[in-house]
Amino acid sequence: MKGMSLIVKTVTRWIKGFIFLFGIYIVLTGHLSPGGGFAGGVILASSFILLTLAFGKEVALSKLSKNMASELDSIGALMFLTIALLGMCCGGAFFVNFLHRSHPGEAFRLLSAGNIMLYNIAIGIKVGASLFMVFVIISAIKVVLKDDAMKMIRHK
């Protein structure tokens, strides 16, 4: 049985969805309340990291494989740039908030800030996928030091 004990596994099974939902909430309401794309993306990544810690690497990688995470990372960055470039066509300059100009929503509503929500979603996808990837790379790849390497580090 890989991973941690039964208690950790059961608790993880219950709360992993809530952590993921909370991350999505933080990303989507970044323009209304504290938080935003970066913090929400880290919460999204941490739900997958919890899965990795509790159930082992295989379960987490079956839900979000390393290639998929790499693609999501690139998709998030490209989405951010594409929306910024769309500002050039629709608004006249790089990074123009053209959606807010054409459809100014009521303040303090979810659809009030135009492009900012889309930027937040892009950054959330990018940060979540890339940080999960970093965790998998750092923790899953084990570098076993040979004896002489150990001695060299000890005597340094």
84 binds another protein (CB under 8 A): yes
Q: Residue 9 class from Cβ within 10 Å (0-12 exposed, 13-18 middle, 19+ buried)?
A: middle
Alpha helices in the chain (DSSP H): 6-28, 37-55, 57-63, 66-90, 98-102, 115-140, 147-155
31 binds another protein (CB under 8 A): yes
Residues 6 or more apart in contact with residue 106 via CB below 8 angstroms: 112
> Residue 70 has what DSSP assignment?
H
Classify the phi-psi angles of 13: left when phi > 0, otherwise alpha if psi is within -120 to 50, otherwise beta: alpha
> Residue 34 has what DSSP assignment?
S
124 binds another protein (CB under 8 A): no
Task: Decide: 28 and 119 in contact? Cβ < 8 Å.
Answer: no
The nearest distance, CB 13 to another protein, in angstroms, is 19
The nearest distance, CB 102 to another protein, in angstroms, is 12
Work out which of 19, 42, 75, 86 binds another protein, going by CB under 8 A: 42
Per the structure block, which two tokens stand in for 16? 């992993």
Nearer to another protein, 89 or 138 (CB): 138
Please report, as residue ranges, which positions from 89 to 118 form the binding site for another protein (by CB under 8 A). 95, 97, 100, 104-105, 107-108, 112-116
Nearer to another protein, 2 or 142 (CB): 142
Cα 130 versus chain centre, distance: 6
121 binds another protein (CB under 8 A): no
- Binding residues for another protein, rule: CB under 8 A, are 26, 30-39, 42-43, 45-46, 49, 53, 70, 73-74, 77, 80-81, 84, 95, 97, 100, 104-105, 107-108, 112-116, 119-120, 123, 126-127, 130-131, 133-135, 137-139, 141-145, 150, 153-156
